[in-house]
Amino acid sequence: MAWASGEGVRCADVRRFGMADPGDVSALRRAIDAGEVDPATIVAVIGKTHGNGLVNDYTRGYLRQSLALLIAERTGRTPEDVVARVPFIFSGGVEGVLSPHYAVFTVAQATAGGPAPSLAVGVAGTPDLEPQDVGRARQIASTADAVRRAMHGAGLAPEDVHLVQVKGPAFGAAEILAAAQAGREPASLHPGTLMAFGRAASALGVASALGEVDAEADLERAVLSDRTVYSRRASVSAGSEIRNVEVVVLGLGAAWRGPLTIGHRGLADALDLAPVMELAAELGLEPAPQVPAAQAARIRAVLVKCEPQRDGMIRGRPHTMLNDGDIDAQRHVRGAVGAIVASVLNDTALFVSGGAEHQGPDGGGLLAVIAERQASPLHGHGFGSAGA
């Protein structure tokens, strides 16, 4: 994580690339080879892959391996070194209209003046966690510490932050049971439930670092228990391809220059249409009701968090997401909220992640959009297509 706070004026860029499958990194390869992306400046990749987004989703690891190989090859580093330096935050599940893609975040020294504040990016990671750490004080504290380091690295104060994207570890049934049998009791023996504990704890860690919760609160006790305690700017996912917690802090920094800005809104529930429109309007995207294609081309990344309301209701009527044994509730809600956001933004390459425990109120969520301030002739629509 090379970009310490004292290094002068920086510029962040974000470009999304499509992929035919999780092994297809041809679009980024072409962009690198065309000089459009300097691989040495890549600080994070956030993406949405083809899998189910649950414990047995191996598409996240496949894309991670594929990108690490490409970036290693083009930078002269080893894949292991690339993985250690660059957070790869992938969420599986492109339900409904969603499109598989990855967004590449780069940070370079600013080469030209420009308006400030601009998009700022900070990254950091925690040490590895074990099953018994998930959902507990250790995960909360280490996540909070990573967020603070990422903010410091980016020169951001808590109030400058628009979104903290977090990826934490997930464990399979066998590892969980092994920990329990060794006397290191995990918070749950159920792999999916333990994933929820992990998302919850990291979200509370973000809330702590951003000062959104009382510094004296017993946050471990609140995990999956007191839903009134939450962050309004955390988006957390989990996956078995990593062992530690990786954080990417996104905000507007006074010491950053560049063409990109970011905004965010909380979503009160899965049908909360108005904030989507408001955020689009705030970014000058002219939703009427849909952002026209010419304006949508300015969008560089969209990050959404959502979850099913736990009482099984929405707007006074029952939903069935939580009782479905065939399709996981998170797949249902990603498809629904993703479609609503896509229909307004006229963009389907959205990062939509389910499981919003302590990331907004019960059943609610979060939306952040990174966009060019105005149409940039240089970068075009910033979306590379897959395949040959």
Shortest distance (Å) from residue 238 CB to its own copies: 13
Segment contacting its own copies (CB under 8 A): 52-60, 125-133, 134-142, 157-165? 52-60
CB of 380 to its own copies, least distance (A): 13
Task: Note whether 57 binds its own copies by CB under 8 A.
Answer: yes
Choose the catalytic residue: 91, 235, 237, 353: 237
From 18-26, 144-152, 211-219, 371-379, give the range in contact with its own copies by CB under 8 A.
18-26
The binder of its own copies chosen from 277, 356, 367, 371 (CB under 8 A): 277
Of the residues 37, 42, 54, 103, which one makes contact with its own copies according to CB under 8 A? 54
**Does 66 sit near its own copies (CB under 8 A)?**
yes
Q: Which helix (H) or strand (E) holds 162?
A: strand 161-169
Least gap, CB of 175 to its own copies (angstroms):
8
Residue from 66, 142, 167, 353 carrying the catalytic annotation? 167
Nearer to its own copies, 60 or 149 (CB): 60
Tokens in use for 16?
Answer: 């999304």
Nearer to its own copies, 69 or 116 (CB): 69
The residues in 333-362 that bind its own copies, with binding defined as CB under 8 A, are 333, 335-340, 342-344, 346-349
Tokens of residue 204, six digits = 């509370």
C-beta of 77 vs 101, nearer to its own copies? 101
Output 62 or 351, the one with its CB closest to its own copies: 62
Contact 267, 365 (CB under 8 A): yes
Pairing of strands 313-314, 246-253: unpaired
Amino acid at site 210? L
Residue with the two structure tokens 């940070």: 107
Nearest-angstrom CA–CA distance, 28 and 384? 7
Nearest Cα residue to 70 out of 107, 98, 30: 30
The one-letter amino acid code at 168 reads G
Instruction: Tell me which stretch binds its own copies (CB under 8 A): 82-90, 93-101, 127-135, 160-168.
Output: 93-101
What is the Cα–Cα distance from 263 to 301, expressed in whole angstroms? 11
Site for its own copies in 308-337 (CB under 8 A): 310-315, 317-328, 331-333, 335-337
Asked about 237 being catalytic, the answer comes back as yes
C-alpha distance from residue 221 to each of 124, 143, 186 (Å): 26, 16, 15
Which of 38/175 has CB closer to its own copies?
Answer: 175
Give the torsion through C-alpha atoms of 144, 150, 357, 331, to 10 deg: -150
Please identify, using beta-carbon distances, which residue of 97 and 157 lies nearer to its own copies: 97
Residues 297, 381 contacting (CB under 8 angstroms): yes
Q: How far is the CB of 298 from its own copies (least distance, A)?
A: 15
Residues 104-143 that bind its own copies (CB under 8 A): none
Interacting residues with its own copies between 246 and 275 (CB under 8 A): 270-274
Contact (Cβ atoms closer than 8 angstroms) between residue 205 and residue 150: no
Which amino acid belongs to residue 9?
Answer: V
Chain residues 190-249 in contact with its own copies, contact rule CB under 8 A: 190-193, 240-241
Instruction: Tell me the number of residues near its own copies by CB under 8 A.
Output: 87
Structure tokens at 376: 């940039």
Give Cβ neighbours of residue 86 (< 8 Å, ≥ 6 apart): 42, 43, 44, 45, 68, 71, 123
Single out the residue of 32, 37, 44, 59 in contact with its own copies (rule: CB under 8 A). 59
List CB contacts of 311: < 8 A, sequence separation 6 or more.
362
Which of 99, 130, 268, 373 is close enough to bind its own copies by CB under 8 A?
A: 99
- 248 or 277: whose CB is closer to its own copies? 277
C-alpha to C-alpha distance for 155 and 149, rounded to whole angstroms = 10
Within positions 25 to 44, which residues make up the interface with its own copies, using CB under 8 A?
none
Evaluate whether 366 touches 163 at the Cβ level (below 8 Å). Answer: yes
- Active centre residues (catalytic): 167, 237
